[in-house]
Each structure stands twice: as structure tokens, then as C-alpha cells.
Structure 1
């Protein structure tokens, strides 16, 4: 756990890596799934988890340009066209910024997490690709400087370049996006004993559509309530106060609308809270839901019980239990 926050100011353009590369011809990188919004922090809060995640294998080639030779785990849903894939598009933006459009790359993307899960599937792929090219080129600058390129991938994936998935996937830990213009990202502390129980119901909630149903105008009294909850959650993280974290995680703006897209959302919340969850809410745009707990055993029991409930209403699901992942992407 970190005692201090890290502030990432608006990234500057990177200089070309000295020597032309990092001495590697290929690299494999894992990047983690993320929980965005964290109930009350729409588009400004997110954290990384240990599993699931995505893997990218990247190789240098002799022919300039980017090719995608293989994608697995996507059921044929993702494009091999490098002009239409979030991984290659974001990598291309990075290469342009470091004046290395002369190099050739071959990319393999291995989806180890569900697409459209609300767990930052596109973000994990994009971050893995960016971290891979950074490693190949021997670029030792702050990984936070990759954030604008990762946001380009998010813009392609869902029409909006938000950072609440890509920032925690890239930086690890719990992240606050204080501002988008200029980009200002703050890494927050968190209690070491906080566990996350995640359930992904096998239903389709596309991110674009989930964003479109959100209200454009809100009442001032609702905004004030939401501000108080966000401030309470951030305060709870700094104070290591799990009770304060739990009672602050209430959303009166987005959850009431998005919950309609998730079967038995409020029944699942009732089950989780009754079993000792600290809080319960939607991960990103859904349909995944998550609960914070004080220990691993409670998290496991909650995921199992929620999976049983979904099975009883004929809905399949995937379940995951994790602490907050402070590492972010890693070479594998």
C-alpha cells in the first residue's frame, strides 16, 4: 500500500528511445481488468484487479507497419485490421509520438476476459499493447505518459475517451481522474485488506448503449448528494476507514438507470449485503457487478451465492475474487 499519492500532470510528448530499441525482439505482456466508476464516481474513479485480464504478444518485424496475426478468446468479434483494432491504433499513436513509424510490428492478442463485461476489456488489451511496445523500444519513461494513447483506444471502442478503466489498468491501484482537460490523474491509497467480489452475468450490455441512457440533466440536490458520496469514498480510502468507504458508495445518478439492464440487480445487492458485503454496485457500464468485502472468504461466498442465484433464473456467469492490483501491466 502506498502512503502518498502520485499526481500525473498532462503528459508531454516522448522523445525517441536512445539506441533505437531495448534489445528485445519480442515480448509478452499481461494487463489487468478494472472496475470503473466505483459506484458513485462516474468516469472519474476506477481500480485494477488481479484477474481477469488480457495478454498481448508483440514481435519486431522487418517490414514497417503493424499487423495483427492472431486474436484468440474473442469468438471472432474483434477486427484483425490494424486500423480498426484498439490495440494497434493506440500503439500507432505512440509510435508517431516517438517518431518510430519506421519499425514493423506483429501483434497477437489473447483475450483472457469477457468482451462487454464492464470490466475494461478493451482497456486491458490496449494497455497490454502499449506496455509491450514501450518495453520493446526500451522506453524507460513514466508509464503514465502512455495514458493519452490508451484513451485513443477507448475512444475507438466506445466513442468516448474516458480514463477510468485505462488509468488503473496502466498505473495499477485505485485511481482518481481529477480532470480531463488538462489531464490530471491521482493515484489513491486504499486499505490493504479490501477484497473485491466480481460476478459477470452472461447478458449483453454494450457500453455505447449503456452511456446513451444516462440522463443529461440532473437536479442540484442530487448532484450535492453525489459529491458528498465521492468525497466520502476518497476520504475513506485515505483514512483506511472501510465503514466510511461502504456508506459512501451510493449512486443516485447512474445506477438507477443502468441497473434496469442487469437482471435481478437489486436482488443480488440484497444477497451480497446480507452476507456481509461492505458495498455493492455495477462495474463500469455493466453487466458485471462487484462487492467490497473485508476478507477473502466472504468475497468467495458472495460470488458463489450470486452465481447460484443467477443459475436459478437461467443466467450463466463468471466469478472472480481479487485484492486491488497495485502493479498494473507486467511482462510475462
Structure 2
């Protein structure tokens, strides 16, 4: 049996629409992500368990993880023995935490290990992006790549090996708050402008390139000072109840930035101290999330997708 864990991630990371993503690791040691378990079986079998399994279609053919198994057997490892694939769905659907990416990444990574196909990093990322596109409507890497590789990743088709790891200040904390309701990714994309003005395009390019360069030269405070989302946040914020109030209130508690994680509705903050992160988390628990929501103080998950055990 092979059990593989894939962590939640923050897509866009404010300044990097469809290009920047960060994997999350709660500081309390809990696993915030999905798990795929592959074991030998008399015939192919699929089971979906976990806290959010009931939110997925009951028909295996409509489940993204099962679709990954069918594709893997048909196109990657036709001689692989029959398997039982269990997806432990621990992330809410439509949360803005890379939930579909978690399912895809964990499944393909587990199948690759089980079948000993030894796909390269780029081959796996491309395969994962193909199936993430089924949900998101395009081959976006900003959840797939950090989920798989860990850390903060600048990622895309124009980048060699699909990704460049960017350093961050090790003192930074990230507060991720899921309010308890879902936001359909397609709906969140539909409100975005179809075109950018020349001015907006140039400013986006300058901001992302400067942010990346400042991180690479360890000018972390300067990087934080230009960390804002002018591409998606202004259009998505009205879809997320309570976001504008949080963005107005949290800086006074120590949040250096408040922005939307991926397509939302999860928001995230960057804080320089644990005390500030705790204050932000307390406010969010009281004012932003409902009984179905959650809030985690995190560091970056630098390990990315990993095998939990071999039995």
C-alpha cells in the first residue's frame, strides 16, 4: 500500500495571477490537504472517504481522482496490476485552497510510485495540469506546482521545468481562513475582465517581476510593500461575504497583506510575527468564518507532496 499526501495551496499569491502559488503547512502539525491511498486489488476499485467526500459526485466516473486512475492505466501504465484507489477528501470543494489540485496531485503521485513508472517532474506536472484544467477551465499551474513541489513557486509554460522556487522570510506566518461556503471557480473567473489595458498589463508585469526579484535578493520587506492584487481581487471581492470588512480590519492587528487565496472564498494574510498571526486568526474566527469554516496559522509547506507510509 502506498499513501501520499498533497498539501493545500494559495494560488495567485496576490501579485502572481495564474503564476504564483504557495503550499501551506499549519503550525499545529495537522495535515491540510488530501491523501491518496493505492493498494493491490483483484480488480480496479475506487473509494472516496474523508470529511468532504459527501460533497463529491457519488458516481466514480465523475470523480476527478478516478478519472486520473483511468487515464493513468490507459496512457501511462497499461500493465499496472489492478488497484484499489482511495481518495481521502480532506479539503472543501470550491474553497480557493487548491482542492482539485490536491486530489489530482496526490492521485498521480501515488500511482506513479505504485506502478514504478518514474515519471519526470515535468511529465508529472504536465499530467497533473491536464486534469486540473477539467475543473478550472485552463491549464493553470499555480496550485499544481506548489502542491507537488512545496514552498512558493513561480510557475508557467514559459518557465524551464515549469517552476522556479522563490525564497521567503522564514519569520513570515500565513493565516488561511475558509469562511465555510464555497465559491465556484468558473463563477469566480467569469467576473474577471476579458482584457487588460496596456497600463494594467505593464504594471502587473512590473509588480510580479519586482516581487520575484526582491525575494531572490532577500529584500523581503520591500517585496511585502508591493504585494497587492489589482488583477482579480477587485472583481472577486464582492462575491465573498465579509472579505472587505476583513481587509479593512486585519492590518490594524498586524496583517501585512490581506488577499484572496486562489479564486476564493478563502482569504490569507501574511504576518511578520506569531502574535500578529494569532490576533488575525482570532478576529477571523469571530467575524469571518461560520460553523463550517476553519482558520489555520501556517508556515510554507516546503516538503510538498510526500509519501506517508509504505506497507
> So what's the TM-score if we normalise by structure 1?
0.84
The answer to whether the aligner puts 1:30 opposite 2:5 as a matched pair is yes
Match of 1:108 among 76, 79, 86: 86
* Corresponding residue of 1:252: 230
* Corresponding residue of 1:54: 34
* Corresponding residue of 1:326: 302
> Could you tell me whether the CA contact under 8 Å between 1:36 and 1:43 is conserved in 2?
yes
Query: What CA distance in whole angstroms lies between the structure 1 residues aligned with 2:40 and 2:230?
Result: 49
Which deviates more from structure 2 when the two are superposed, residues 147-156 or residues 132-141? 132-141
The answer to whether the aligner puts 1:287 opposite 2:265 as a matched pair is yes
> Could you tell me whether the CA contact under 8 Å between 1:71 and 1:78 is conserved in 2?
no
The answer to whether the aligner puts 1:184 opposite 2:162 as a matched pair is yes
Residue-by-residue CA offset, 1:65-122 (whole Å, 9 max, x unaligned): x431233322522235443222222344344443435531211111222221100011
* Corresponding residue of 2:153: 175
Secondary structure of 1:46's counterpart equals strand
* Corresponding residue of 1:299: 277
> So what's the TM-score if we normalise by structure 2?
0.89
1:75/1:126 CA distance change after superposition, 3 Å: closer
* Corresponding residue of 2:100: 122
CA RMSD of aligned residues (A): 2.2
> Could you tell me whether the CA contact under 8 Å between 2:80 and 2:115 is conserved in 1?
no
> Could you tell me whether the CA contact under 8 Å between 1:86 and 1:153 is conserved in 2?
yes
The answer to whether the aligner puts 1:45 opposite 2:5 as a matched pair is no
Secondary structure of 1:115's counterpart equals coil
Which deviates more from structure 2 when the two are superposed, residues 149-158 or residues 99-108? 99-108
The answer to whether the aligner puts 1:267 opposite 2:231 as a matched pair is no
Q: Which runs of 5+ in 2 are unaligned?
A: 27-31
The answer to whether the aligner puts 1:154 opposite 2:129 as a matched pair is no
* Corresponding residue of 2:215: 237
1:219/1:275 CA distance change after superposition, 3 Å: same
Query: What CA distance in whole angstroms lies between the structure 1 residues aligned with 2:251 and 2:17?
Result: 22
> Could you tell me whether the CA contact under 8 Å between 1:271 and 1:306 is conserved in 2?
no
Query: What CA distance in whole angstroms lies between the structure 2 residues aligned with 1:200 and 1:219?
Result: 32
Secondary structure of 2:157's counterpart equals strand
Secondary structure of 1:191's counterpart equals coil
Secondary structure of 2:223's counterpart equals helix
Query: What CA distance in whole angstroms lies between the structure 1 residues aligned with 2:197 and 2:48?
Result: 48
* Corresponding residue of 1:68: 46
Query: What CA distance in whole angstroms lies between the structure 1 residues aligned with 2:266 and 2:232?
Result: 15
Paired residues, number:
303
Query: What CA distance in whole angstroms lies between the structure 1 residues aligned with 2:192 and 2:77?
Result: 40
> Could you tell me whether the CA contact under 8 Å between 1:46 and 1:165 is conserved in 2?
yes
Superposed counterparts of 1:140-151, under 5 Å = 140-151=118-129
> Could you tell me whether the CA contact under 8 Å between 1:169 and 1:328 is conserved in 2?
yes
Q: Moved runs in structure 1, 4+ residues, more than 6 A?
A: none
Shift of 1:38: 0.6
> Could you tell me whether the CA contact under 8 Å between 2:53 and 2:89 is conserved in 1?
no
Q: Which runs of 5+ in 1 are unaligned?
A: 1-25
Query: What CA distance in whole angstroms lies between the structure 2 residues aligned with 1:103 and 1:80?
Result: 25
